[in-house]
Copies of this chain bind each other. A is one copy, B any other.
Amino acid sequence: MTDDSSRDHVVPGSDEELETADVRGHDFRGDLDLESLLASYETTGFQATHLDEAIDVTERMQEEDAKVYLTLTSNIVSSGLRETVAALVRDGHVDVVITTSGSLTEDVIKTAKPFKMGEWDADEGRLRERGINRLGNIFVPSDRYVWLEEYLYDFFDDFFAEESIRTPTAFARELGETLEDEDSVLKQAADNDVPVYCPALTDAEVGNFLYYYRQRQDTDSDIGIEILDDYEKLIEDGMFADTTGLIAVGGGVPKHHAIMTNLFRGGADYAVYISTGMEGDGSLSGAPPNEAVSWGKIKDETETNYAQVEAEATLVFPLLVASAFYAG
C-alpha cells in the first residue's frame, strides 16, 4: 500500500454540505434562564438533543389536544416526581395515568407522612432492625405502613360494601376521593376524572393488607379485584380518541399497557419515553419507540412523532414538564 492510497482512506474528503443545524452549545455569555438553557439542548447532541425532541413532541401533543397517557413506575412516586405528576393531573395536562401498585400506596402515605432522604450504602441488617425500609437513597420508616394499614382497612370497609368484586380504577378513584392533599396524585386524579390504571394492583401493600383483611372473621371473603373491565375501558379510551400521546416515565407493565391498548387504534400518534432500560436485553422496558412501530403500537409518520431520552427520570422529567407544560 502506498501512502497515497492510505490517504484516501484516512482523508477521503466530501463535497456534500449538510443542511442540518450546526452542533453548538449554550452561550454562557448571554442570558441564563431555563428557557434559553434548554433551547441550546437542540444542537448540543447526544441525549440533550433527545430531551429537546421529547419537549417538542410533548408540545405537539398539546397543540393537537391529544389524549395524553402518562405511565410511571412506582419509584417515580417514591421520589419527588410525585408532586410533578400531581401537578400535571391537577392542571389538566394528562388524561390517563397508568402505573404499578406501589405508586398508589406510597401516594397515600405521603398525604400523611413524608418519605425521608436516605443513602444508598446503608447497613441493611441494621436498617431492618431499626424498622427503616430503603428505596434507593430514600428511607421509609416502617410506621408509615402501620398507619397505612389502618387507613386501608377503613377504606376497604367502604370500598367493598358497595360490591364485592371491584376494579383497580375504582380502587384508585375511591381511595383518591378520601384524600385531602393537593399534591396527591390519586386525589387530583379523582377530582379531575383522570382514570388511574393499575392491573397488577395486588403487587404491593394493597395486596398485603387485602390478604390480612380477608383473613378477618367478619369480612366477606368473596371480595376480589377484577382486571378485565379496566382493560376494556382502557382500550376504548384510546379507540375513540382523535389523537393520542404517550409519556412513559420508566418502563414495565405501565409502558406496555399504554402502547398495547393504543394498538387498537392503529398506534399512538405521539410518544415520549424516559428510560434507563437497555435495548440490548430485548426487554419491553428497554425497547425504544421504533420497536413499537413494527407492532403498530406507535404510528409510523414521516415527521418524527416520538422521542426517547436515555436518562434517570428525576434528572430530566422536571425539565420536560417545565418546558413543555409550564414555560411561556
Is the CB–CB distance between A260 and B226 below 8 Å? no
Query: Among residues 198 to 235 in chain A, which have CB atoms less than 8 Å away from a CB atom of chain B?
Result: 199-204, 207-208, 210-212, 214-215, 223-232, 235
Is the CB–CB distance between A26 and B280 below 8 Å? no
Q: Is A134 an interface residue (CB 8 A)?
A: yes
Query: Which residues from chain B contact A313 at a C-beta distance below 8 Å?
Result: 46, 281
Query: Which residues from chain B contact A315 at a C-beta distance below 8 Å?
Result: 47-48, 51, 309, 311, 315-316
Q: Is A111 an interface residue (CB 8 A)?
A: no
Q: Assess A310 versus B202: contact at CB under 8 Å? Given A34-B37, A132-B18.
A: no
Q: Is A58 an interface residue (CB 8 A)?
A: no
**What is the CB-to-nearest-CB distance from A230 to chain B, in angstroms, rounded to a whole number?**
8
Is the CB–CB distance between A132 and B294 below 8 Å? yes
Is the CB–CB distance between B202 and A314 below 8 Å? no
Is the CB–CB distance between A25 and B231 below 8 Å? no
**What is the CB-to-nearest-CB distance from A253 to chain B, in angstroms, rounded to a whole number?**
5
Q: Assess A44 versus B146: contact at CB under 8 Å? Given A9-B265, A139-B18.
A: no
Is the CB–CB distance between A37 and B265 below 8 Å? no
Q: Is A158 an interface residue (CB 8 A)?
A: no
Is the CB–CB distance between B80 and A24 below 8 Å? yes
Is the CB–CB distance between B14 and A74 below 8 Å? no
Query: Which residues from chain B contact A322 at a C-beta distance below 8 Å?
Result: 26, 28, 32, 37
Is the CB–CB distance between A240 and B1 below 8 Å? yes
Point out the residue from B44, B223, B260, B282 that lies within 8 Å of A45, measured CB to CB: B282
Point out the residue from B165, B231, B278 that lies within 8 Å of A211, measured CB to CB: B231
Query: Among residues 237 to 290 in chain A, which have CB atoms less than 8 Å away from a CB atom of chain B?
Result: 239-240, 250, 252-253, 256-257, 260, 263-267, 276-287, 290
Q: Is A3 an interface residue (CB 8 A)?
A: yes
Is the CB–CB distance between B141 and A14 below 8 Å? yes
Q: Is A157 an interface residue (CB 8 A)?
A: no
Copies in the complex: 4
Q: Is A15 an interface residue (CB 8 A)?
A: yes
Point out the residue from B10, B28, B84, B132 that lies within 8 Å of A28, measured CB to CB: B84
Q: Which residue on B lies nearest to A204, using beta carbons?
A: B260
Size range of the chain A interface in the assembly? 35 or more
Query: Which residues from chain B contact A116 at a C-beta distance below 8 Å?
Result: 18, 20-23
Q: Is A33 an interface residue (CB 8 A)?
A: yes
Query: Which residues from chain B contact A200 at a C-beta distance below 8 Å?
Result: 199-200, 227, 253, 257
Is the CB–CB distance between A133 and B294 below 8 Å? yes
Query: Which residues from chain B contact A82 at a C-beta distance below 8 Å?
Result: 25
Q: Chain A 52-84 against B: per-residue CB contact (8 Å), 1 yes, 0 no?
A: 000000000000000000000111001111111
Q: Which residue on B lies nearest to A14, using beta carbons?
A: B131
Is the CB–CB distance between B25 and A79 below 8 Å? yes
Query: Which residues from chain B contact A1 at a C-beta distance below 8 Å?
Result: 239-240, 264-265
Is the CB–CB distance between A142 and B14 below 8 Å? yes
Q: Could you give 7 example pairs across A and B, Cβ below 8 Å?
A: A23-B115, A47-B280, A127-B293, A165-B165, A207-B228, A207-B260, A309-B315
Closest 6 A/B residue pairs (Cβ): A14-B131, A25-B80, A136-B282, A44-B80, A48-B314, A22-B114
